[in-house]
Structure 1
Amino acid sequence: MRLSLPIRTDKIRLRDREQFLTRLAVLMKEGYLLPVALNLLLPMHTSKLEVALVGITAILKEGGNAAEILKFLGFKEHVLFPVEIAESHGRLAESIDSIGNSFARTERVQKKLKNILIYPVSLLIFTSILFLFFRTSYVPNLTEMMNSMQSGEETSGVPAYLLSLPDFFIAIFASVALSVFVFGQLLKQQAVERQITWLLSIPIIRRFMKLYWSHLLARELGTLLHSGISMQESLDLLQRQNYHKTIQFMARMSHEELMMGQSFSRSLEHVAFVSKDMPAFVQHGEMTGYLGKELILYSEVLMEQIEQQTQQLLRIIQPSFFIIIAICIIGAYLAILMPMYNLVHTI
């Protein structure tokens, strides 16, 4: 059930969200009800305790669920989606614990990316400022001196375009960032089928998205099946959730083929945006009768693959920035040494 959340002027911001989810899972495993666990944890994670408690109370009075409460506390769809599904199979505490671990992985990757980028990006910006000062103060004087020492057609100044290399690279990065922002805004306005088509048309993103979507589908469907819920009912639950449109679309496609007598593994063969080995893996689970457990295992394997590919990508980013900075410095040397070399030959 979708609720209209309490109107609030202050946005609830939780501190240490990873710790919040982990502690919430521990308390619920110990037998605490969700409202009681939240009352215990919120004083440690927000300075707007009264606003948070009033909002949570209003949600509970309207019959709201855990997903609605976490949405009120500022969590995004990648957290709300598995929480809503978890309330269907009754393993909310285990799901929140798993979400907390995934949250920790994401935080580690983001922190590592920040640490990798902060030094080379700062160095590139500093280099650009230094070269700007060099072009406006030093180059005109050097060019004037060389013009006074040379004459006629032999006159050649400092090739200032080489000193504009940092500006060129920064302009490229700014253009890419703007393009990504515009693409993201346009993507949100499209139907889910077109969103999938657009994302799969980008070579770098295509494999990540296939792995990520397959991971989500395998994790949530596997958990539902492992809890004793039938395949048709599980797919129906995934269709009715509203937090992840792509999984909703995938579940609808598979459910339609299931109603036509096809197996789940066969239906996945017609889905172009799942990992290529997923149909074979699902078929093995159907044959052994342990599809739920094997899907959960498969989702963990996919998450490991996502982490490995992310680490490989991060290892490329920092050296690329240093190569760009090296090109800028070499350009600066050439900008000064080439005219000097020409001047020596004219003396």
Structure 2
Amino acid sequence: MHLALLQKTKWPRFRDPPLPVSQQILFFKRCSHILDKGYPLHDALQMTGWDTKLKSTCDTLTQHLSAGDPIQEAFVKARFSLSVTNFLYFSQIHHNLSRSFQQCKAMLQMKKDYKEKFMKVIRYPVFLFVFLIVACTILQKTVIPNFVHLFEGKKDGTFHLIVILMNVMNGLGILVLLTAILFMAIMIILPRMPFKKKLAFYERISILKMYQSYSVSFLFTTHLHSLLQAGLPLKDAIEMINGNENYELLSHYCNELLIELSNGKTFAQAIYSCPLFRPELTNIFHHTNDVEALKDELELLAEFLMEYLSQKISTWLHVIQPAFFIIIATVIILIYASIMLPLYQWMNQI
């Protein structure tokens, strides 16, 4: 019945820059509100296009949808974010566009809010950190070498302290540089790694494991609930999710589930082949056999995972700024000590 939709779909990696996130959020807010009133998508796009900021986007979507393009491809060509177009892949089955648009708006809004919070949190500490790096460089090149030269004939505590301070500041500089290089290397290399190596990397690095665990569990829970709500049997719903290879990890796990099910295992047994799924998700399939109860629990779990991930991100944002200030305070104390202690020692010798 859904053979055409079950074809493996993979969209191009390189495309025009996406629309501004604020514009995407506004589109989904306006269009979902109109769809809730009972209007068909074509009329909803036309009315959403009354806003001049959204007219071009709505015209592009109308053009491609009228030409017969699937909805996710039309949104790709209208330059929506990949996270949105991947999510809309499943709306062609459950046909609840209003709910899908509201979920897309919620995801984009959360990303936008936390990106803005992150930039506000790190803006001042990063400015101070850059200033301190410049100050440390000047001290390393001018002030401290003169003190070392002044005290090098006297192997006392002051001389050793200056040497230790120099080594500590050099060590901090090297640590910051290596951290930046490592982060950039991960951002560049990780998307290009073979999937099996990438999966092993996710499972070894705790912070990536936690993020991927919540992300893949939320996506699986949300899409499975939507497809079951549309009336698909459980196995067909898994096959449908497996068909979207843009969710690489999720597609892999669904393929593992299908293999385990074909080997005669129950779903509760098969789900253990997916180690990054959250325990809350695996527990649902152990104590729920009724499809109606399963749909309700999946909906509740999707809401819980979204809220819990939001709380985790907020907690990390509250930790980042104090951590930056502690590092900066340590560097300031080192700079002060590297200047004042030798001066006091030199003044005592006069």
- The answer as to whether partners of 1:264 and 1:282 remain within 8 angstroms in 2 is yes
- The answer as to whether partners of 2:224 and 2:237 remain within 8 angstroms in 1 is yes
Unpaired segments ≥5 residues, structure 1: none
Q: What TM-score comes out, normalization by structure 2 length?
A: 0.83
Q: 5 Å matches for 1:34-73?
A: 34-42=41-49, 44=51, 46=53, 52=57, 55-56=60-61, 59-73=64-78
Aligned residues: 339
* 1:220 and 2:223 correspond: yes
Unpaired segments ≥5 residues, structure 2: none
Cα 1:136/1:39, change in 2 over 3 Å: farther
In the TM superposition, what is the alpha-carbon distance from 1:275 to its structure 2 partner?
A: 1.0
Name the counterpart of 1:100.
105
Q: Name which of structure 1's ranges 186-195 and 107-116 shifts more when overlaid on structure 2.
A: 186-195
In the TM superposition, what is the alpha-carbon distance from 1:164 to its structure 2 partner?
A: 8.4
Name the counterpart of 2:27.
20
Name the counterpart of 1:31.
38
In the TM superposition, what is the alpha-carbon distance from 1:67 to its structure 2 partner?
A: 1.1
- The answer as to whether partners of 1:24 and 1:37 remain within 8 angstroms in 2 is yes
CA distance in 2, matches of 1:44, 1:261: 55
Amino acid at match of 1:182: A
Q: 5 Å matches for 1:247-326?
A: 247-287=250-290, 289-326=292-329
CA distance in 2, matches of 1:90, 1:245: 24
CA distance in 2, matches of 1:212, 1:20: 24
Name the counterpart of 2:123.
118
From 186, 190, 198, give the equivalent of 1:187.
190
Name the counterpart of 2:243.
240
Q: Output the aligned Cα RMSD.
A: 3.3
- The answer as to whether partners of 1:192 and 1:249 remain within 8 angstroms in 2 is no
Q: What TM-score comes out, normalization by structure 1 length?
A: 0.84
Aligned sequence identity (%): 20
Name the counterpart of 1:211.
214
- The answer as to whether partners of 1:127 and 1:166 remain within 8 angstroms in 2 is no
* 1:87 and 2:92 correspond: yes
CA distance in 2, matches of 1:136, 1:180: 28
In the TM superposition, what is the alpha-carbon distance from 1:213 to its structure 2 partner?
A: 0.7
Q: Name which of structure 1's ranges 11-20 and 251-260 shifts more when overlaid on structure 2.
A: 11-20
Q: Name which of structure 1's ranges 158-167 and 124-133 shifts more when overlaid on structure 2.
A: 158-167
Q: Name which of structure 1's ranges 206-215 and 182-191 shifts more when overlaid on structure 2.
A: 182-191
Amino acid at match of 1:86: S
